[in-house]
């Protein structure tokens, strides 16, 4: 009996294993076959070039983007990126109708989406306007106007310290000042808290539009192959959904968790403001001086109120409040440093898109917290909510007038 059992049992197990192996092979075949066909199709298209029959011997379309430009005692520095279908060779550079020698690193032709740094030892004149024209070996020209020639302020330790001080004033200081309203918020009743939370919503709505506007402007300056506007929308949406998923693992965030998300969203926004200030420093557009810094400080005071609003009933410790201040305000400092080095516009647009996604997630969570309650959604849209929302937008709009560079 045992032998019979083992014989028939072994046969049954062998049949089961065989079916499992056959099933795995079928799944593997179904998964691999489309990939193999796709690779073979790509190899055939590249090797045979089926569109070559339509070639009318016209020269290829050349595209070159000047991603950044700054001036120093060495001359004019450019960073360029090719985005045409064929390699581009820079043959000559003309400045103010005269041809000048230049140094390109790396040298040689630029293939699609590759970049190069160019140094032109041109004796530019501070305060004057200059016109830069890049000429390729096929005769195509790409122009960049220097409206007012000013020396770059990047790369010096003393300047980095001064920029960090500015970042502290426009980022950390206003958030800390806003948090000083915490004792007043503790004394508010339910309607007062609803007003403060709706004010937060209005402020965040303004910040979202402001960040998206800046991101789209930077995306427009980048090479078109990066599909800047589409990238901004996709990255912002992905960041928002990702943060919502993280924040709602244990239910809707409230209290300290919600305050942390608000601080994170505001911190990414302040990073974007730092990029704007740093870019102005790199371009020499610092004529607004102390007025500009003061404007940003006033503009950002309500951010501190927005952060502490969800934790007024929790009475957080001083250490937690300090951590929230740094999370919201400190990103302005690296933003200024990176902006002063005039980073490529597609990277700056990517950073702002992430910030927009974070602010959108905070808008969703704060809105859910504000309009949550025994009453219905429409019943919660009363005059207390609307007045706070309108006041938040109006305050940010009015103070934003003085900080646009």
Do 272 and 335 meet the contact criterion of CB atoms below 8 Å apart? yes
Residues 6+ positions from 255 with CB-CB distance below 8 Å = 310, 311, 313, 314
pLDDT at 288: 45
Q: Which residues of 70-89 are buried (b: 16+ CB within 10 A; e: fewer)?
A: bbeeebbbbbbbbbbeeebe
Q: Which pLDDT score is estimated for 403?
A: 56
CA proximity to 95, closest of 79, 76, 114? 76
Closest residue by Cα to residue 226 from 60, 336, 81, 358: 81
**What pLDDT does residue 316 have?**
79
Tokens of 334: 């690296």
What is the C-alpha to C-alpha distance for residues 359 and 289, in angstroms, rounded to an integer?
29
- pLDDT reported for residue 397: 78
Mean pLDDT by 10 residues, the chain (405 residues): 48 56 64 75 70 59 80 85 81 87 87 86 86 87 82 60 81 84 74 76 81 81 76 86 76 77 82 74 54 64 77 78 88 82 74 80 74 58 80 78 58
What pLDDT, on the 0 to 100 scale, is given for residue 84? 72
> What's residue 5's pLDDT?
44
The phi and psi torsions of 115 (rounded to 5 degrees) equal -125, 165
The phi and psi torsions of 75 (rounded to 5 degrees) equal: 140, -140
The predicted pLDDT at position 8 comes to: 45
Where helices occur in 119-189 by DSSP H, the ranges are 157-167, 173-179, 182-186
Q: What is the pTM of this model?
A: 0.64
What local confidence, expressed as pLDDT, does residue 295 receive? 63
Q: What is the Cα–Cα distance from 140 to 287, expressed in whole angstroms?
A: 37
pLDDT at 164: 83
């Amino acid at each position: 009996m045992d032998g019979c059992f083992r014989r028939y049992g072994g046969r049954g197990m062998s049949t089961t294993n065989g079916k499992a192996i056959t099933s795995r092979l079928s799944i593997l075949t179904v998964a691999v076959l489309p990939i193999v066909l796709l690779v073979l199709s790509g190899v055939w298209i590249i090797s045979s070039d089926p569109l070559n029959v339509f070639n009318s011997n016209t020269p290829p379309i050349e595209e070159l983007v000047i991603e950044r430009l700054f001036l120093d005692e060495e001359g004019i520095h450019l960073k360029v990126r090719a985005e045409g279908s064929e390699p581009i060779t820079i043959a000559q550079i003309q400045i103010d109708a005269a041809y000048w020698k230049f140094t390109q690193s790396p040298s040689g032709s630029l293939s699609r989406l590759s970049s190069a740094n160019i140094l032109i030892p041109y004796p530019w004149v501070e305060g004057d306007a200059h016109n830069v024209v890049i000429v390729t070996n096929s005769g195509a020209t790409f122009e960049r106007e220097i409206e007012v020639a000013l020396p770059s302020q990047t790369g010096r330790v003393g300047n980095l310290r001064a920029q960090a001080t500015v970042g502290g004033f426009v980022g950390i200081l206003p958030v800390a000042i806003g948090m000083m309203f915490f004792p007043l918020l503790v004394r508010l009743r339910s309607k007062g808290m609803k007003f403060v939370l709706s004010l937060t919503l209005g402020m965040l709505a303004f910040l979202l539009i402001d960040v998206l506007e800046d991101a789209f402007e930077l995306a427009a300056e980048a090479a078109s192959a990066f599909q800047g506007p589409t990238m901004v929308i996709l990255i912002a949406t992905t960041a928002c959904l990702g943060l919502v998923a993280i924040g709602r693992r244990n239910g809707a965030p409230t209290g300290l968790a919600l305050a942390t998300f608000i601080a994170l969203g505001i911190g990414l926004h302040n990073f974007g403001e730092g990029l704007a200030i740093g870019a102005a420093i790199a371009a020499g557009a610092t004529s607004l001086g102390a007025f500009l810094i003061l404007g940003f400080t006033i503009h950002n005071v309500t951010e501190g109120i927005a952060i502490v609003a969800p934790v007024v009933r929790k009475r957080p410790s001083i250490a937690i409040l300090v951590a929230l201040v740094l999370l919201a305000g400190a990103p302005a400092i690296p933003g200024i440093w990176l902006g002063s080095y005039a980073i490529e516009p597609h990277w700056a647009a990517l950073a702002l898109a992430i910030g927009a996604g974070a602010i959108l997630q905070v808008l969703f969570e704060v809105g859910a917290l504000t309009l949550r309650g025994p009453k219905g959604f429409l019943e919660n849209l009363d005059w207390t909510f609307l007045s706070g929302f309108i006041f938040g937008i109006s305050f940010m709009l009015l103070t934003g007038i003085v900080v646009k560079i």
